[in-house]
Copies of this chain bind each other. A is one copy, B any other.
Amino acid sequence: MNKDNLIQLFQNVLPMSTGKAEQLAEKFKAGKTVRNEYLLKEGAVCNASHFIEEGIMRSYTYDIEGNEVTTSFYSKKMQGSDLVSFFKRIPSKESIQALTDCETWYITYGDMQANFHAIPEFREFGRLNIINHYSILKQRMLSMLQETAEQRYGALINSNPEILQNVPLKYIASYLGITDTSLSRIRKEFIKK
């Protein structure tokens, strides 16, 4: 497992020389998570931020009635961690679970903090990385405001087709904000087109 994807990811977030990107990448360690294992459990403080090299994860929490709500899916090149818990050092409100065997590159909070102080590019990367997450979330918020469930489903499987192959329908449904019954019907209509 080499760090090419990680290095490229850094350069995508913040333009920098390959040498500098390699320097940042050195701070990350390889991790493995087997299917169904937890990267983070609700109530724990998220102490490592993982970039996914291979595999699919999901984060989820519970609604008032105790039903699982899938809050996000993570696949190749995405970052699987609870940013709020990680940066604010507070217990996470959600769990992160591997849906397939996964390989990741991760950094602990302590290491990250040390590098933030020592390496200006590191903190600049960190800030833009958070902003990117914020931007993605905002885009998803907009799609909740203006798109139908069917449109959101279409967008999801277009951008992340591998999710469709590996993820039970009920997880996708709660991510989209609908019931699995409705998604089943939507999917039926979808295939016709």
Contact = CB atoms under 8 A, between A and B. Distances in A.
Q: How many copies are assembled? A: 2
A155 to B, nearest CB: 12
A82 B87 CA distance: 21
Contacts of A127: 87, 123, 126-127, 130
Interface in A27-58: none
A16 interface: no
Interface of A: 61, 63-64, 69, 71, 83-84, 87-88, 117, 120, 123, 126-128, 130-131, 133-135, 137-138, 140-142, 144-146, 174-175, 177
A134 B130 contact: yes
Contacts of A64: 146
Contacts of A71: 138, 141-142, 145
A61 B142 CA distance: 9
Nearest to A71: B142
B137 A141 contact: yes
A58 B101 CA distance: 44
Given A71-B138, A88-B131, A144-B144, 19 more contacts: A63-B145, A64-B146, A69-B142, A71-B141, A71-B145, A84-B135, A84-B138, A87-B127, A87-B131, A126-B127, A127-B127, A130-B131, A134-B137, A137-B141, A141-B141, A144-B177, A145-B175, A145-B177, A146-B177
